[in-house]
Structure 1
């Protein structure tokens, strides 16, 4: 008899993770307590998780120490409010840390229950979300004032992350569904949306992710196998550029070429990075404390975070914070590497690449809460159900477990993180 798998809780967890700091004010409502949609969403999520796990029993996890590294980092950040400077607004930041911790606890439980099933649903939902965001932006709704593409209340830097995740999950669905070319068709559209977002950091993060992927799969590349998919992508991309490319051609010329290459415009990232490094050198051990960067830097309204996760941790957490950040990454990496190469599922490998992309994007934009998807995706790649004791697995379950790892398109030139 096959084990019971998580149901609605996976969808609720995805919505809670993707929603971010969405408030009802954006749709013209102002309701106390539940104005931040995370409050009702998290209550529903925890209720669903409690009901489902109560019915299915405990789920031992392998690689659970990966969660401990991230938990130690979040706990230290919370404690750092004790030495935050006067004027630092720490309440919302503490709430964000608690939200991240809650999401990670939920996804850890789900990964220990049925990692590959949960990850498959999550990746598919990212693909659906990418379509929703792309179609919303293509209609002109949600664009920034300077013409950069965005949608559903999120900024261009959020939009580019969803677009790239859509492209990665397109490749995942292509490999998972017998290499049917139809699944590759959305990739040029999503990459077009990524360019239209004007996010230079997002495009740099995509370049980093592609480089990591090529280094990982280079020994196993089959160019004969890739010829037809690449030809299809080239044709679709050409059609897309010819039909709608002129709509953003001038904007791309101004944003990426003239402003970036010609004028060296960096959206003040260089100023923020230099200030963060200066604060770190002034307070090298413990930093300024949680959300203390803006109070110490005094750069004016709006510049409230560094837009670089390691530098932000250095400025606000000092050497201790940087060490814990590195420890969290190493725990996730070691948990992932502890699985033999042949036993790494397509879902785990794809989640790892998605997490690498979000991590690379966190070098150029976003704050601590914006890195939540990185932690979730890397956790899904690293944590898995604990192996059953010898002789305890029934024959039908053994066949089901094998089916999740051996499916059409999951081998060969499929994606695999560094060292695959």
Structure 2
């Protein structure tokens, strides 16, 4: 019986893998991007330790294998861009810090998580992307936020209640607080929210009308923002505000800037009116629903003026930096440095030991030293420079906004070694490749053997093309 199951599985998986390897940008890549907010907490019954036993990790491994076969069998790989080299340099230094880490086990565990994430980003950089491929990827990411937001709305409106995290009930896709962090979920939704807003005011999906794209973008924007609010994450809410403002700003500076500005104003008014009508209808049909939302723990948490213990953690982290920021204590060992210095930090709250940094930049500085922090900032600056170039600005103006929003949220989170962070960096690689593909296509020989850019002037001089 077991042999029969293996044979059937091979008969299904081999053709499926071949199909994905032939065109990964239209198959496994968007599936992987769509799955991240949900599949990262879906544990599988496989003989692998956490976090490698999740559905998203399995899809990531499938993606890497499909891309490898694609570039060796079906299509030549692209030459990676300079930012990829800078990320590899950063990763090389991070790996080097494992040599002097006090806990080699923690360091190796950190590397086992970090290296595959960087490999996925490199895989994106090796693929050839078209504008249609980017539209598929964009839509997959937007729909992922829409699905998560719809689930959050269902939990609150139906009265089912939000999952319990400590003493508060905050939205997450699973009720096990050890498997998910609402703050991480909020940060993972910043990219879908920015892309949804971009669809609403700027970008039309290739195979849809502008009206359809706007409707889907508007619905996804509302639901994704609702999910972020339901997490009760103040860092996520601050990042979402930055994403909205910067997306509108960068979209307004595109080639269709004036049109975008007019559409943004009218569309946002329409969106707010529609949202108010939906809230009114829900209030009439179920008076307790609105009360459940307003009185929920996430809303109450967002309005409290406390720091959730972060100030005390940062004090201990600052002392740890004074001791270790010259060359770093080693990847995965921030907690050890924190435990050393916490008794001397003068913390006023009983926040305890074994706490994460709740600040990515502080974590990187303590674990990898000022060299690692400098390499990280240089790599991020190269991403910003690449996204500021003319082709990228027009293809996806929301990408810079999402990057800025995530970097703001990282001030309150320890989230660099999460899939959603590297998905955003990987999307940059797709945007870089699309202009190259379009320019190559535009220079392909026409019916007379000349590229279109040369054939048109020749035909015009011959009187074939009207001027």
Query: TM-score range, shorter-chain basis?
Result: 0.7 to 0.9
Match for residue 416 of structure 1? none
Q: What is the distance in 2 between the residues matched to 1:269 and 1:395?
A: 62
Give, in whole Å, the separation in 2 of the partners of 1:86 and 1:162: 29
Equivalence for 2:413: 365
**CA deviation digits over 1:231-279, x for unaligned, max 9?**
211112213444343222123552122x22xxxx212222222222222
Q: Select 1:57's aligned residue among 53, 75, 81.
A: 75
**Residue 326 (structure 1) aligned with residue 340 (structure 2):** no
Structure 1 position 315, deviation (Å): 1.2
How far the C-alpha of 1:334 sits from its partner, in A, is 2.8
1:231 and 2:269 correspond: yes
Matches within 5 A, 1:183-332: 183=216, 184-216=218-250, 220-221=257-258, 224-242=262-280, 243=282, 244-251=289-296, 252=298, 254-257=300-303, 259-260=304-305, 265-298=306-339, 303-332=354-383
Comparing 64-73 with 293-302, greater Cα deviation is found at 293-302
Distance 1:375 1:204 in 2: 20
Structure 1 position 143 matched with structure 2 position 166: no
1:152-199 deviations in whole A, cap 9, x for unaligned?
A: 564322332354434323233333155424232342232222211111
| Number of residue pairs aligned between Structure 1 and Structure 2 | 382
SS at match of 1:212: helix
The reply to whether residue 349 of structure 1 matches residue 397 of structure 2 is: yes
Partner SS, residue 364 of structure 1:
coil
- What displacement does 1:22 show? 3.9
Of 84, 105, 125, which residue of structure 1 is paired with 2:122? 105
Deviations 1:124-155 (A, max 9, x none): 11122122212333343762342211115643
1:362 CA displacement: 1.8
| Inter-partner Cα distance in structure 1 for 2:227 and 2:272 | 16
- Pick the aligned partner of 2:215 from 182, 191, 195: 182
Q: Does 1:172 align with 2:172?
A: no
Q: What is the deviation of 1:372?
A: 2.2
1:403: which partner in 2? none
Q: Residues 357 and 88 from structure 1, CA distance in 2 versus in 1: closer, same or farther, beyond 3 angstroms?
A: same
TM-score w.r.t. structure 2 length? 0.71
The 3 A distance-change label for structure 1 pair 296 and 56 is same
Bigger CA drift: 188-197 or 371-380? 371-380
Tell me, which stretches of 5 or more residues in structure 2 are unaligned? 1-21, 283-288, 343-350, 453-467
Match of 1:411 in 2: none
Q: TM-score, normalised by structure 1?
A: 0.78
Does 2:30 correspond to 1:11? yes
1:125 to 133, 137, 140: 140
> The residue matched to 1:185 in structure 2 has which SS?
helix
- Higher Rg: 2
* Gaps in structure 1 of 5+ consecutive residues: 400-420
Deviation digits for residues 361-415 of structure 1 (CA, Å, limit 9, x no counterpart): 222123331232332234434455647679952349989xxxxxxxxxxxxxxxx
Distance 1:40 1:286 in 2: 34
- What displacement does 1:286 show? 0.9
What whole-Å deviation, never above 9, does each CA across 1:201-221 have from its counterpart, x for those lacking one? 001112223343455456645
Structure 1 residues 87, 74: closer, same or farther in 2, change over 3 A? closer
Alignment partners' CA distance in 1, 2:425 and 2:416: 11
Q: Deviation of residue 94 (structure 1)?
A: 0.8
Taking the aligned partners of 2:140 and 2:427, their CA distance within structure 1 comes to: 13
Measure how far apart 1:88 and its partner are: 6.5
Deviations 1:89-124 (A, max 9, x none): 2232111111112111111123xx015333322221
CA RMSD of aligned residues (A): 3.4
Distance in 1 (CA, whole Å) between partners of 2:269 and 2:131 is 31
Higher relative contact order (CA 8 A, sep 6+): 1
Q: Cα deviation per residue 1:286-305 (whole Å; 9 max; x = unaligned)?
A: 12111221012116877442
Evaluate the alpha carbon distance shift between residue 253 and residue 369 of structure 1 in structure 2; reply closer, same or farther with a 3 A threshold.
closer
Structure 1 residues 277 and 375: CA distance shift in structure 2, 3 A: farther
Q: Partner residue of 2:101?
A: 84
Distance 1:92 1:37 in 2: 19
- Distance, in Å, in 2 between the alignment partners of 1:57 and 1:391 is 19
CA distance, structure 2, for counterparts of residue 382 and residue 200 of structure 1: 32
Contact between 2:121 and 2:423, CA under 8 Å: does it hold in 1? no
**In 2, are the aligned partners of 1:129 and 1:162 still within 8 Å (CA)?**
no
Structure 1 residue 41, shift from structure 2 partner: 3.0
